[in-house]
Amino acid sequence: MTLKRRPQGEPKQEDFELVENELSEPGPGEVLVRSLLLSVDPYQRGRMSEARSYAKALELGETIISQTVGEVLESNHPRFTPGDVVVGQLGWTEYAVVPAHQLRRVPDGVPPAAALHVLGTTGLTAYFGLLDVGRPKPGDTVVVSGAAGAVGQLVGQIAKLMSCRTVGIAGGPEKAKDLADLYRYDVGIDYKGQDVDAALKEACPDGVDVYFDNVGGQITDLVLLRLALHARVVICGQISQYNNQQPELGPRNLGLLIVYRARMEGFLIPDYAHRFEEALTRLGRWLAEGKLTHREHVTEGIENAPRAFIGMLRGENRGKTLVRVT
């Protein structure tokens, strides 16, 4: 699946094109992989624009980048044999020929979806964002926006494992139900159906010690008004803003950082590569012990990847968005 034209505002189906290419034979040290699951993530929107971002933009005609789980069909490298399940940055593609060093084996017993979620980039994002940037202490009140999304559902549960009180914000009654039932949030707020300001006031009588922000915009404006002294604000995503063609205007509120002596920080996962091992070991243990409930929102067929992506940016997904290649 390639980028046909740069989306203006909300992406449309016609911005994407499924292209058939002749598949080359794997050369020395290369591996032929058939995709099983494609990851669909908000950051991909940034790569489709030419605006300054942390990675270069996709060229028109290029395959949409993503993490992908696949099965090895042919291997010219001793580390892989046909039938192995692997994960790598293959993009939204059905087949790929890639150098072996770009692939990691998915360990036996790990479901393919987990390799893209709890034990993949999503889990690493929740882990390092919350623990390293947010630095929660036992008893802290941790508020998460996009709390039923891929990263948010894990952040809340990891915060509970750190003995924090957790408050999740999500849109719609189903997601709000998931916050309490699946992700063990102490309080779930449905921003579409509730007065967020009043709900936050009630849920956070001593203020917000850690705010893990996936969405930005007006929800963030309201949370910032309720920070506790020395609060930490983790800027993980700003999904409410990704389709804007011009920056949206909002109230200038940096003065609140002085009022609350607060810290606000952005982060990216590649900076933590030297600690992936540590994080995956811990996440894997929690998962095995049943301490991390996770939910995936799976769409069938690579031809529907754009639709899944557009829906995710609208908040229509319920959990981590994946596409199964059939």
To a second copy, the closest distance from the beta carbon of 294 in angstroms equals 23
Q: Tell me the per-residue interface mask from 242 to 281 with a second copy, x by CB under 8 A, - otherwise.
A: -----xxxxxxxxxxxxxxxxxxxxxx--x----------
Q: Within 112-141, which residues bind a second copy (CB under 8 A)?
A: none
Residue 53 vs 81, nearer CB to a second copy: 53
Q: Tell me the per-residue interface mask from 193 to 222 with a second copy, x by CB under 8 A, - otherwise.
A: --------------------x--xx--x--
In angstroms, how far apart are the furthest CA atoms of the chain?
Answer: 62
To a second copy, the closest distance from the beta carbon of 230 in angstroms equals 8
Total residues contacting a second copy by CB under 8 A comes to 36
Residue type, 77: H
To a second copy, the closest distance from the beta carbon of 4 in angstroms equals 25
Residue 32 vs 256, nearer CB to a second copy: 256
**CA 174 to chain CA mean position, Å:** 19
To a second copy, the closest distance from the beta carbon of 258 in angstroms equals 4
Tokens read off for 274: 């030297």
Minimal CA–CA distance to 163: which of 130, 133, 190?
130
With binding defined as CB under 8 A, does residue 313 bind a second copy? Answer: no
Per the document, the length of the chain is: 326
**Residue 283: how many other CB atoms lie within 10 Å:** 23
To a second copy, the closest distance from the beta carbon of 314 in angstroms equals 18
Q: What kind and span of H or E run contains 145?
A: strand 141-145
Q: Over the range 231-255, which residues count as b (16 or more CB within 10 Å of their CB) and which as e?
A: bbbbbbbbbbebbeeeeeeeeeeee
Q: Tell me the per-residue interface mask from 3 to 42 with a second copy, x by CB under 8 A, - otherwise.
A: ----------------------------------------
Q: Please list the residues that pair with 87 across neighbouring strands.
A: 69, 104
CA distance 12 to 4: 11
Residues 241/214, Cβ–Cβ less than 8 Å: no
To a second copy, the closest distance from the beta carbon of 216 in angstroms equals 6
- Looking at 8, 21, 53, 326, which residue binds a second copy (CB under 8 A)? 53
Tell the burial category of 44 from Cβ atoms under 10 Å away from its Cβ (0-12, 13-18, 19+). Answer: buried
To a second copy, the closest distance from the beta carbon of 97 in angstroms equals 32
To a second copy, the closest distance from the beta carbon of 318 in angstroms equals 24
**CA 56 to chain CA mean position, Å:** 19
**CA 293 to chain CA mean position, Å:** 15
With binding defined as CB under 8 A, does residue 238 bind a second copy? Answer: yes
- Looking at 52, 78, 109, 274, which residue binds a second copy (CB under 8 A)? 52
CA distance 131 to 48: 30
Residue 71 vs 221, nearer CB to a second copy: 221
Residue 249 vs 273, nearer CB to a second copy: 249
Q: Which residues bind a second copy (CB under 8 A)?
A: 52-54, 213, 216-217, 220, 225, 235-238, 241, 247-268, 271
